[in-house]
Structures are given as C-alpha cells and as structure tokens.
Amino acid sequence: MNCGLLTNKNEPVPLKHIEVHLQALGHVATVTSTLQYVNEEKRPLEAVFVFPMPSGAAVCQFSAKIADQEIVAEVQEKQEAREQYDDALSSGEQAFLLEESEESVDVFKLSVGSLPPGQSAAVTFIYITELRVEADHSLRFCLPAVLNPRYTPAGTSAGIVSEITSSSTGIPYSLSFTAHVSSPNPITKVESKCPLEPLMYLNTDHTEAKVSLCAGHMFERDVELYLYYQNPHQLTAIVEAGAPTAQPGSHMGDPVVMVSFYPEFPESVMSSVSSCGEFVFVMDRSGSMSDMMHDGPDAQERIECARVTLLLLLKSLPIGCYFNIYGFGSDYESFFPKSVQYSQDTMEQAVKKVKEMRADMGGTEILQPLEHIYKQPCIPNHPRQLFIFTDGEVGNTKDVLHCVRSNADFHRCFSFGIGEGASSALITGLAENSSGHSQFITGTERMQAKVMQSLRYALQPAVIDITEDWSGVSFTRLSPPIKTLFHGQRALIYAQLKGEECQKPDAKGKISVRYRLRDQDVSDTVHFSLKPAENSGMAIHRLGARSLIRTLEKDEQDDGADKEALKARVVELSKQSGVSSSHTAFIAVNKGSRQAVKGPLVTRRIPTPMLLACTMKSSRCMGVRMAAAWCVTPACASVPDSDGGFDMSPEISEPPEDPLLQLVSLQKASGCWEMESTLAEVFGRTEKELIEQIPEQVKPDVWATLLALIWLHGFKIDAQVEWQFLAMKAVAWIRTQKVVNQSECVRVGNALLGCQVKEDALGI
C-alpha cells in the first residue's frame, strides 16, 4: 500500500520542487527551504507531512504563499495554536500549523489546511543549526534525505514520530541547493559526496565563498557539505547586534556573542591510553538492522557490519579492563550476568556469541536495557563507558535521554547512528547528556574506523575542569556549562551581552577559557570587538535562545521541578525569539481566504522517493528503507514493519574473507599471535615457510607477532585507525619477551613478506 499525502483513493498530492539555501557563519548555519506543491484534485485538501531536522536545530520562521498571497506564521502556545487552526478550518479559512514532535526534537509535522482545488502552494521554512565537527577538522552540514520508521514501544502514546513509515511512490520533483559561507578565518575548501559547482570566493581574503549543488541531483541520499577553515583550533568570538525593533534588555534586543572552543590535543596526549574501564557494548538487534548499509553493489547488512565491528572492539580492549555486551529489540539480553574481566577465556566466549548475533529481536526498545545497566554497581577505578549501536528508530527518544541524563555522573556514552535516517536527536542526545561522543555511519563509510576512533577517545585523557573568565563585558550565559571535551570535539558558548559598554564604538571584550588536559593546565584567550557583525539574520541570537530553551526543557523533567514556571519561561522565550520549542507551535491563518468548504476536507500525506534496501531470501523482503526529502517525509504505510511482526533476520554468515579481519580474529587477548596455518594464509605463505625462517633464539609466537606487525604496517597502513590498538597490545607483549635479535627479525620478516618496514615504525 502506498503512503504519503494520499486521498481516500490513494492518490498523492504532488511535490514539484524543493529549493534550499544555506547561510553558514563560522560554526553555525541558517537554512531556508522552500517546497512547492499543487492540489490537482477537485476538492480542498488538508495536507499533512512529517520531516526530519538535524539534532540541535530549531525552526525560527515559517511562511506560505498561495497564489500571490503570502502569510507568515507566528509562534503561540501549542494548544492555543491547535485550537486556532481548527477554528480556521471550520470557518473555511486557509491555515498552517507547524509543531515539534513530543517524542523526538528532530521531527516536525506540518498541517496545511484547506488548499483549494487546482491551487499551488509554496511553503518556506527557515531553521538554524550548529555545524558538526568531523575528525579531519571540517564542519559538516547534512540535508537529510532519509527518515526511518520509528518504533514506538508498547504502552506509549502514538504521536508524530509513530506516523513515519515507508513509501514506494516515485515522485518527479527537483532540488536546487546553494550555500553561502563566511568565517572569521579563511575558507580553504568546500567538499561534498555529491557533485558541486566550482567554489567561488567572494572577497580577496577568502573569508566568504559560494557553492551550489550540480543540477540534476536526484536526492536519493543525504546531501552532505564539508567546510574547511584555516586555524580550526583558534578560539574565535562573533558578536551579533540585537534586533532594532526589540526592547533593549530583552533577549532579542541586546547583543549576543558566540565563542567557538575547539581545543588542540598534543601528540604526547594522543599517544597515551588507559588500561582501565568498564566497557559495555549495547547492540541494536531489531528487525531493521537487517537493512542494508547503502544501496551499492557491495552493501552489507547493518547487523553484519556491527558484528565485524564488535569483533574488532573485543580484540582491541586493554588487558585488565571489564566488559559486557547487550543485545536489544523488543526485549534485551546480555552475554554475561555482569561485566567480566577481560581475558583470553572471556574474550573467546564473547567472540563466539558475537558471531551468532542476528537481527531477530523485534522492535527497538532501548530504554529497558539502559535502565538495567544503570542499576548494576559500578566497578571501582574502572569508569563505565557505554558504546551504543542503533539505527535510531525509536519513538520514546525523550524518555531515553532523560534516563541517560539522570545517570550522567556514573558513565559516558559513545553512540553510533547506523545507516541513513538514524535519529540525530537520539544519537547526539545520548552522547551530549553523558559527556560522551557521537558518530554517524552512512553510505559506504567503514563502521570500524569510526568506532575505533571513539574507542581512542574513551581511552585517552579528555579536557576537564573547564572554566571561563570574561573581561570588559557584563553578560548572561545562555548555554550550559561545558563539563568534558574529547579530542575532536568543539563547544559553542552563547552569552547575552549587557551594559552601556556595549554601546561604545571602540569597546572590546575578552574571554579566557582555562582547562586541564592530562596533568597540564592550559589557557586560550580571544579578544573581540563589541561592534557587532554585519547582518547575520539573528542566527546567533536564535541559537542562544534554542540552547537556553533546551536547558529549561530538560530541567522540567527533573523531580521537584516547578514545571509550570519553567514552561511559562520556555513559551515566553520561544515567542520572543521565534524559535520552536516543545510547548509552542507556528500558526498561520489566511484571513482573506474565507470560503465555504463544500464537503469534508480530505487528509493527504506527502509521498517521497523510496530507497529500497531489500534482500530477497526465500521470496521474502528482508528490509525496507524509506527515503525522504529534507522537509517532506511520508507518514503512513502498511508494509510489514521491519521492527516487528515477522522474522526478518538474515542467515548467519561468517565474516567476509578479508585478510585484515582474519588477522584480527587470530590475535590473543594478551596481544600476541601464535604460529598456525591460518595465520600463514593471511601472509600468503605456508606455515612451513614461516617456521623455516625463524631467526635463532626466537620463540614461534614472538616470530608470528612480529610478522603480524610488519604485515599490518606494510600492507594495511591506510587502515591504521582500525588496528592501532591491536598493534599497541602486540608491541607491549613483545617488550615483555626480551627479544635479543629484534633487528634481525625485522630484516628477515620484511624479506619473507615482501615489505620494507623500518624497525622504528613498529614502535618496538
């Protein structure tokens, strides 16, 4: 059955065109998206569509143009807005209602009331968002093309999120995308996985540039843009003037400053790792994990990628730590009753069970296993670190994040969104609420590389004891305090500037950020002019308001909170700044459209393109993925839910015959390899050839381990991020063996394997 904006005869309301403009200012962005529709039916419609938003984004403006008349929405308390919308429809007026999902802040629903027959409508959204920092120091903007079906646990109310499912309807609409980038530091390049027109610099110092998506993009996957600036670790501050029409002293009337804090980690810190910790791996085993990672020819199922990644993680853990593995779906199970010490025996038990993992546990109820984990007593001197893998298809995101935040003092969470469409609110929220780190694995990206990067964060020292010293300004802080930052993480600090000194033309401000990294005290300082930046569309004011609104909304969930007072403050700030919240909605009514409605309004759901990730096994579809244009997502379907009802588990398959993975699987928990025929096969040799070349006074396991290190450095150096911890364990083990003729071993090993690896490169 088709879905989307459908008539009672399953006929869709056509989406004709999407036009998107990105305005990037340093580390933040304003996005304007216009969608053009036509009602080709003979009766008025009430159109409904659901769309995804980046986590941390907030809608700040919404308007609609029908024929030649434009109406602009205003922010009202949510229930009042709903009542006004219903009253408008019953009076024959055109009306629009835009509201945030009550289950997840990254999903919005728009209701378009009384679209006349044969009439076109252009709907425009403007939203603001912070740009995500990537491992190579670029800033990532993502225009989501996919919003997966969300699983709503039994006993919870069905809302906006639960309406989202798949559609197979083909939609012939077009997309245009343009980005304008400006930064305090020069822009070095802009990249994308999608074809771009050449980058055009707009000034001589390269602090402004423009780029567009090539014509003809089909929007079958996310549009990702990567912005590169010079001196990315430099502390920067941007001041934005208040709105001329706003009351001085109010949030929108005073200047607001945004400070970007992105600390640099010295190599000495990067190379140090801890051997302590309790590592709890929480794996999504719902039916949707049998979907494909992408639609390319070499795509793997999500659960298969997860199995390989878990194997690599198990081999990379340090001796002396503790670990456990949970699988969850409609229910949950753990490998061990409680976390066990890492040893050869416990590692082998876990590896065997990992190879048997299937996507066979129904729905996606992540709250229960988290609550169970938090009830387990912590192990002294072993900080608890959760690694959560999920395709993010849950309907009770806010409940999950509240649970994580309530236990934030006892753990850190490293979260991984698997596949297109994972909920950014869930994945980033898990990390943000526990001072952890989040990653998204999409398209052909290797899950192993990103997960091992996060393991390094978990084992390395982090920036702690962060304090700020402001000079020359009076201010009110809008963003929450920064507790912890890992390597590669950035924090944005928002503050409302007050006082008469802001009015002086030559006024200066200064902020010093002090922090502790390993055993060193570090301080970064930036001087900035209080003269505001040129017209920036109030993006910084609105992001500051959004930050404060999210903090107030979190405070509402705490026991003993004055919920009514907090709600009133959220509503006031939301209406003043025009930024969406959980307690407000955008409402627009076209007063001049009053027409008698003949017959009932027909509700339609906007259809969107379909990404089919189906593997046919025994004539059964093993998984369905739904693609959605950024602002347009289907909201109904009756295909078998990939998270329940049917056993959609893949056949258990052995890991692919990848030599690197074969080598990984053969390493012992201590870090060594033993001499055996399967190891020789990885090297393209026979066991006899390896044994015949053993230098004198060298034990077979030492020789095997040295050969493994030479092979890794000689043939797999491009994947070093994946095997770095395996190598560190191997080097540490070799040092305990007191090898007397190490240089001779490396020379013979190079000759045997056909490599030219230098001894000092091995770190032994």
Is residue 740 in a domain? yes
Angle at 125 between CA 121 and CA 130, to 5 degrees: 160
The model's pLDDT over 558-586, given as tens digits with 9 standing for 90+, comes to: 778 899 999 999 999 999 999 989 899 99
- For 251-296, the pLDDT digits (tens) are 999 999 999 999 988 877 777 778 789 999 999 999 889 988 887 7
Angle between helices 720-737 and 447-459 (to 10 degrees): 50
pLDDT tens, 79-102? 999 999 999 888 888 888 888 877
User: 291 with 350, same domain?
Assistant: yes
Residues 672-694 have pLDDT tens digits of: 999 999 999 999 999 999 999 99
**CB-based contacts of 482: which residues, under 8 Å, 6+ apart?**
261, 466, 491, 493
Average pLDDT of the chain, as a whole number: 81
- pLDDT, tens only, 620-629: 222 222 222 2
The answer to whether the CB of 251 falls within 8 A of the CB of 545 is: yes
Q: How many CB atoms lie within 10 A of CB 477?
A: 15
Indicate if the pLDDT at residue 358 is higher than 80.
Answer: yes
Q: What is the pLDDT of residue 172?
A: 53
- Same domain, residue pair 187 and 279: no
Question: Are residues 177 and 92 located together in one domain of the fold?
Answer: yes
Distance of CA 23 to the CA centre of its chain: 21
Confidence of residue 9 (pLDDT cuts 50, 70, 90): very low
Residues 211 and 301 in one domain: no
DSSP 75: E
15, 173 contact by CB (below 8 A): yes
Indicate the SS3 state at residue 690.
Answer: helix
* 224 & 277 share domain: no
Residue 218 binned pLDDT confidence (cut-offs 50, 70, 90): low
Domain's final residue, options 417, 443, 459: 459
Q: At residue 220, does pLDDT exceed 90? A: no
How many other C-beta atoms can be found within 10 angstroms of the C-beta atom of residue 697? 10
**C-alpha triplet 59, 60, 62: angle, nearest 5°:** 85
Residue that has been written with the tokens 């051997």 in this structure: 275
306 found inside a domain = yes
Beta bridge partners of 127: 31, 59
In this predicted model, what pLDDT tens digit does every residue of 697-707 receive, in sequence order?
899 999 999 99
Tell me the pLDDT band of 466, cut-offs 50, 70 and 90.
very high
- Which range marks the domain in which residue 154 is found? 15-230+580-605
Q: Is the pLDDT of residue 312 over 80?
A: yes
Report whether pLDDT(481) > 70.
yes
* Last residue of one domain, picked from the residues 459, 479, 508: 459
Any idea which of 141-150, 218-227, 710-719, 733-742 has the lowest mean pLDDT? 141-150
Residues 193 and 61 in one domain: yes
* 76 and 216 in a common domain: yes
**CB-CB contact of 75 with 129 (8 Å):** no
Please check whether residues 319 and 438 belong to one and the same domain: yes
Question: Does the residue 729 lie in any domain?
Answer: yes
Question: Would you state the structure tokens that stand for residue 283, as one six-digit string?
Answer: 């794996």
Question: 445 and 297, same structural domain?
Answer: yes
Quote the pTM value.
Answer: 0.74
Final residue belonging to a domain, choices 429, 459, 489: 459
pLDDT bracket for residue 533 (50, 70, 90): low
The H or E element spanning position 456 is helix 447-459
Give the residue carrying structure tokens 């909201």: 635
pLDDT at 146: 53
- Note the helical H segments in 19-136: 78-90
- Please report the pLDDT score of residue 321 as a whole number: 93
Radius of gyration of the chain (CA): 28
Residues whose CB is less than 8 angstroms from the CB of residue 132 and which lie 6 or more positions away in sequence, other chains included: 139, 140, 142
501 forms beta bridges with none
Flag whether 541 is in a domain.
no
H-type alpha helices, 477-598: 539-556, 563-577
| 711: Cα separation from own chain's centroid | 34
Instruction: Return the closest-CA partner of residue 422 out of 307, 288, 300.
Output: 288
Q: Does residue 53 have a pLDDT over 60?
A: yes
Residue 631 has pLDDT above 80, yes or no: no
Sign of CA dihedral 628, 633, 639, 640: positive
In a domain, 638, yes or no: no
Stretch among 135-144, 498-507, 707-716 having the lowest mean pLDDT: 498-507
CA distance 553 to 568: 11
Q: Which residue has the higher pLDDT, 620 or 300?
A: 300
Question: Which pLDDT score, from 0 to 100, does residue 425 have?
Answer: 84
- Looking up tokens 């001329």 gives 244
Looking at the fold, whether 211 and 293 belong to one and the same domain comes out as no
Q: Say whether both 49 and 145 belong to one domain.
A: yes
User: How large is the average pLDDT for residues 370-388?
Assistant: 93
Would you state the pLDDT for residue 145? 65
pLDDT, position 644: 40
| Closest listed residue to residue 123, CA positions, set 105, 110, 109, 108 | 110
pLDDT of residue 331: 92
Specify the CATH number for the domain of residue 77.
2.60.40
196 secondary structure, DSSP code: B
> Where residue 418 sits, what CATH number does that domain have?
3.40.50.410
pLDDT band of residue 387 (cuts 50, 70, 90) is very high
* pLDDT class of 184 with cuts at 50, 70, 90: confident
Residues 239 and 471: their CA atoms lie apart, in Å, by 15
CA distances (Å), origin 271, targets 275, 518, 730: 13, 12, 15
Q: What is the pLDDT of residues 405-438, one digit of tens each?
A: 889 888 899 999 988 778 888 898 899 888 888 8
- With respect to residue 398, please indicate whether it lies within any of the assigned structural domains: yes
For residue 156, the model assigns a pLDDT of: 47
Q: Is 202 within the bounds of a domain?
A: yes
Same domain? 53 vs 192 = yes
- Cα gap 107→160, rounded to integer Å: 8
pLDDT at 32: 93
- Contact call for residues 369 and 326 (beta carbons, < 8 A): yes
Ordered DSSP codes for 580-617: --TTEEEEEEEGGG-----SPPEEEE----------EE
Q: Give pLDDT tens digits for 126-157.
A: 999 999 888 789 999 988 765 444 444 454 44
Average pLDDT of span 226-248: 90
- Tell me the pairing of strands 278-284 and 322-328: parallel
Cβ neighbours around 491 below 10 Å, total: 22
Query: Could you give the C-alpha distances from 294 to 166, 182, 299, 613, 658, in angstroms and in order?
Result: 16, 33, 6, 7, 20
- Please indicate, yes or no, if residue 529 is contained in any of the structural domains: no
Indicate the range of 150-154, 167-171, 318-322 predicted with least confidence.
Answer: 167-171
Instruction: Domain count for the chain, please give it.
Output: 3
Q: Which of 122-131, 156-165, 179-188, 560-569 has the lowest mean pLDDT?
A: 156-165
Q: What's the DSSP call for residue 107?
A: E
